[in-house]
Structure 1
Amino acid sequence: MEVRAADAADVETVREIARRSMEASYTLSPQTIEGAVKQWYSDEAFAERIEDDDQLVLVAEEGGEPRAFSESVVLDEEGDADLNWLHVDPDYRGEGIASALFAETRERLEEMGGTRLHGRVLRDNTDGNQFYRHLGFQKVGEDHVDIDGTDYVENVYVEGEPTELEAVTTDDGKRVYVDHDDAFRASLGPFFTAFSDTDRETRWGYYCGNCGSLDIAVDTMDRVHCNECGNVSKASRWDAAYL
């Protein structure tokens, strides 16, 4: 199997693999999947993704035929990285393609400075959760995501041992706990989830990785914005702006 960096000519192939993979793995309506794929992998969005120095899109081929792709991103200078997607054509699952593509993805992320890898997968995606556990990832929490008007639970995984929560005090004296394993990309630095408890059960809000502020706002499109430094989240996999 050959793994190579994606180029602009791969966009239709990536769309088809993503569509078939999501249909096989997720309990989402065909309309939601179709709409999401068209938005995430439009010609313009795909071109921006492969030209971004912090993002990595790899295609796995056998005999010159694409079988899978991965999409990942380096979040910050501390080495945090997210594996956003690893899709394998359902006709070729069980042949070791996912494991081989994951190994190559991790190696290339390390070359880019991404040494601590995180992954997210919907709770009802049995194969996806098993894949992370098989690779030795630890589940560190859960997020709730709205997809086309329906609430879903997304499991958050980290490779290796979870990072200890950081206790931070708000301006009004409340103690909250920042989870550096639950991060997402933004314009100036990642945002981290802050919890009201050390069991990661009650989400309080967000912590800005650029300036350290807890003064964070969320707009009607679920974009997260720091009122101190202007850091703003970039569209994620389930961002309402996409669907």
Structure 2
Amino acid sequence: MRIREAEPADRPAVRDVARRSLDASYSLGPEAITSAIEEWYDEDRIEEILEGDDRLLLVADRDGQVVGVSESVFSGDHVGTILWLHVDPSYRGEGIGSALFDETDRVLRDRGAETIHGRVLADNVEGNTFYEDRGFERVGTGEVDIGERTYVENLYTDADEIGRDPVTDESGKTVYVDHDTHEKGSIEPFHVVYMTEDGDDRYGYFCSNCESLANAMNSMGRIECNNCGNVRKPLRWDAAYL
């Protein structure tokens, strides 16, 4: 088996592995899974991932057959975020997920990532355990829409320390900017902001370019700063993480 970057010819196999993985890992109905695959892994979407400088799509190739997929993004300064790690259910238990993760981690770090984040749906027990067994710490949650339902998504990081600084919003409420959790912006990163210092509830985002909390997000997860025009494109074609 070898881990390699995905090629255009892999698109049908990537969709098939992702579909089978979602079906085995989550209590999702057929319509929800079909909707997710159409949104995240259609022809244009995969082409965008393959061509994007800030995206990484690796596949686990066994004798010419794709049996695993990882999708990652550079989501901030020196931060690589693993969005999905799929392994075909027929090949689980053979170390493919670990090998795929290790190579993803290596490539992200070779490209400049100093911190690795991981996102996994909260009801995926195996997925959450996977990150915890590797020493990752759960530092927050978000939401993702699949079909017509909204699911909780856990955010993990391998950062040794989580730095959160208090700031005051326009109403005078104190919220906390997490300097170790951020998303890539067109000018400077957007840092995640939490309602409390322990990071249980997400408040929104902080634009590090103009140091403003006044940011808007549309239904596709696009963040735009109201003050300076700093923009974050969607990490996925789905709902916002607020």
TM surpasses 0.5: yes
What CA distance in whole angstroms lies between the structure 2 residues aligned with 1:53 and 1:20?
28
How far apart are 1:40 and its partner, in Å? 1.4
**Equivalent residue number for residue 167 of structure 1:** 166
Whole-Å separation in 2 of the counterparts to 1:34 and 1:233: 27
Q: Match of 2:43?
A: 43
For the aligned residues, what is the CA RMSD?
Answer: 2.0
- 2: distance between equivalents of 1:2 and 1:180? 36
Query: Which structure 2 segments of 5+ residues have no match?
Result: none
The offset of 1:4, in angstroms, is 1.0
Could you say if the C-alpha distance between residues 103 and 202 of structure 1 is closer, same or farther in structure 2, counting changes exceeding 3 Å? Answer: closer
Aligned pair 1:105/2:104, yes or no? yes
Runs (5+) with no aligned partner, structure 1:
none
Per the TM alignment, residue 206 of structure 1 is displaced from its structure 2 partner at its CA by 1.4
Alignment of 1:1-243 (within 5 A): 1-77=1-77, 79-171=78-170, 173-237=172-236, 239-240=238-239
* Closer/same/farther in 2, CA of residues 203 and 39 from structure 1, 3 Å limit: closer
Deviation at 1:162, TM superposition (A): 3.8
Contact 2:36–2:147 under 8 Å retained in 1: no
Deviation for aligned residue 1:115? 1.7
Distance 1:84 1:169 in 2: 31
* Separation (CA, whole Å) in 2 of partners of 1:215 and 1:27: 36
Code of the residue aligned with 2:34 in structure 1: it is: E
SS of 1:75 mapped into structure 2: strand
Deviations 1:212-239 (A, max 9, x none): 2211123355532210122233223362
Q: Name the CA shift for 1:18/1:196 in 2 (closer, same or farther; >3 Å).
A: same
**Equivalent residue letter for 1:179:** D
Q: Percent identity?
A: 47
1:153: Cα distance to partner?
A: 1.6
Note the alpha carbon deviations across 1:171-212, whole angstroms, 9 max, x for none.
Answer: 554432112344334444432221232122333221123432
Question: Which has the higher mean CA deviation after the structures are superposed, 86-95 or 217-226?
Answer: 217-226
Q: Count residues in correspondence.
A: 240
